[in-house]
Chains A and B, each alone.
Chain A
C-alpha cells in the first residue's frame, strides 16, 4: 500500500502529462494546466516548511547539546528568524526597503563572493589536472590554450589568429559535442522518466530497492 499508492498516482499523473504533451484533448489539456502543474507549485511551497523545520530542529539541538561550534547556531537561528519575521511583518513584505537593504547587504554580497571563489578553484584545478599525459590530454590542453586566449582581447593582441581558432573550436567541435551530450542526456532522461512512470524504478519509494 505504502508503495502502491504513490506508484499509481505517479502513473496516472505522468500519463495525463504525456497525453497533454502530444494530443489536443481539451479536457486533458485543461486538467493538466489548471490542476496538475499548479499542484506541483503547491506541494513545493508546502515542502518549504519542512526545510525550515529541519534547520531549526538541527540547530536547536546543536545548542541544547552544546555540540562543537554551537555558538554559530545562535547566529544562524537569529538571522533566520529575523528575516522570516521581517518578511512577514513589514509593510510590503519582501519588497520593503529595509528587507531589501538587508538582502542586498548580506545575502547578495555573500552569494557573489562564494560564486567568485569558483574562479580561484578553476585555476587550481586547471594547474593540477591539465597534464599532457597522453595524446588526448595534449589535444585537450592545446585546445584549452587556444580557447582561453581567444576569448579575451589580450589573446587577439598577441596573435590575431587566436580568436579565429577559438571561434572555430567553439562552433564546430564544442557545439557538436554539446549537441551529442544533449541528445544522450535527453534519451537518458526519457528512459528514466518512463521507468519512474511505469514503476520499474522504485528507489525513491524505498531505500534498498535498485541495488
Chain B
C-alpha cells in the first residue's frame, strides 16, 4: 500500500500547526499521546463508579518496605533513604511518594530515618514531607531536621557521604529509590557490608544489573512508578496504571506486527508511523 500520497495529503494540513522532526514521528507521537490521554479519562471515569478496577500483581520490593521498617525499629538502628541522584524528575517524584509512605511508618513507630540528598531543592521538599508525617502523628518534636542532609552535588562526594553515614550509623535498612548512576553499586555494596536490608528501585536500565546483584529487593523500571497506587490501593491511581498498560500494549502490538511484516519484506508499519 502506497502511503506517499497519504503523507503528501497530510503534510500541508499538519505543517501549519504540528511541530516536525527529522525522524518524521511527530504525528505518531501526537496520536499516541492523545490515545494515552483518552485512556486516562476512560479509567478516571471508571474509578468514579463502582466497577472493580484491574488487580495489581504482587511486588515483593514494595511489600518488603514494612519488613525493613520493622527490622530497623526492632534493632534500634536507622533507615537510610536515598531519593535518587537527579533533581526534580519523574523518578524523584516517585521516590518522594515512597518516602512519604515510609515517613508515615517511621513517625508512627519512632524509628529514625536519615535522608541523604544530592540536590538542595529536593531536600526542601523531602524534609517538608517527613515533617508533615510527624505532625500528623502528633509528634512534632520527634522530627529531626539534622537527619535531612544535603551531602554534595558532586556524584562521588555524595556517594562517599552516604557510605560514611551507612557505616557510622550501622543502618539496619537502606532504601535507594529514584534515578541512580554509577554510585549505585557503591551504595549497595556498602549497605551489604553493614548488614542492612536493601530495597532499591530505579527507572533506567543501566544500574539495574548492579542493584539486582547487591540488593535484597529490587523494583524494576516501571515498578517504581507503581508504588503510589500499590501502597494506597487508590482506584484512581490504579486506573492510571491501567491506562499506561493499555498504551504499552498498543506499542507491543505494533512492534510485533511491524517486526513480522519487516521479516517478510514489508515496511508498511514503518511508513504509517513516519507519515509526518
Contacts and interface: CB of A to CB of B under 8 A. Distances in A.
Interface of A: 21-25, 43-44, 47-52, 54-55, 58, 61, 68-69, 107, 110-111, 114-115, 117-118, 121-122, 124-126, 128-130, 177-178, 181-185, 187-196, 200-201, 203-204, 206-211
A51 B241 contact: no
A172 to B, nearest CB: 13
Nearest to B156: A114
A61 B149 CA distance: 13
B70 interface: no
24 contacts: A22-B19, A43-B121, A47-B121, A51-B123, A54-B120, A61-B146, A68-B168, A107-B154, A111-B154, A114-B160, A121-B190, A121-B214, A128-B213, A188-B203, A188-B221, A188-B226, A189-B225, A191-B244, A196-B90, A204-B97, A207-B136, A211-B101, A211-B230, A211-B232
B90 A130 contact: no
B97 A51 contact: no
Interface string B92-118: 011011001101100000000000010
B236 interface: yes
Give the secondary structure class of A's interface.
Answer: helix
Interface string B211-230: 01110000001101110101
B268 interface: no
Contact of B96 (A130, A178, A204): A204
B7 interface: no
Contacts of A193: 90
Give the secondary structure class of B's interface.
Answer: helix
A208 B120 contact: no
A22 B156 CA distance: 38
Contacts of B40: 194
A50 B240 contact: no
A164 to B, nearest CB: 22
Given A191-B243, A210-B100, 5 more contacts: A52-B120, A125-B189, A183-B248, A207-B130, A211-B97
A203 B225 contact: no
B123 A50 contact: yes
Contact of A24 (B18, B90, B225): B18
Contact of A54 (B123, B182, B212, B251): B123
Contact of A111 (B155, B214, B232): B155
Contacts of A58: 146, 149
A209 B93 CA distance: 13
Nearest to B188: A125
B156 A203 contact: no
A23 B150 CA distance: 39
Contact of A188 (B131, B224, B230): B224
Nearest to A144: B209
A118 B182 contact: yes
Contacts of B188: 121, 125
Interface residues of B, number: 84
Contacts of A114: 156-157, 159-160, 186
A177 B206 CA distance: 11
Interface string B229-273: 011111011001101100110010000000000000000000000
Contacts of B212: 129
B217 to A, nearest CB: 14
Nearest to B34: A22
A108 to B, nearest CB: 10
A206 B129 contact: yes
A210 to B, nearest CB: 4
Contacts of B131: 207
Contacts of B103: 207-208
Nearest to A114: B156
A55 B152 CA distance: 9
A200 B240 contact: yes
Contacts of B29: 22
Contacts of A44: 87, 119, 121
A159 B41 CA distance: 58
Interface string B154-195: 111101100000001000000000000011011011101000
Contact of B90 (A118, A182, A189): A189
Given A203-B129, A207-B100, A192 B231 contact: no
Contact of B153 (A51, A177, A178, A211): A51
A194 B93 CA distance: 12
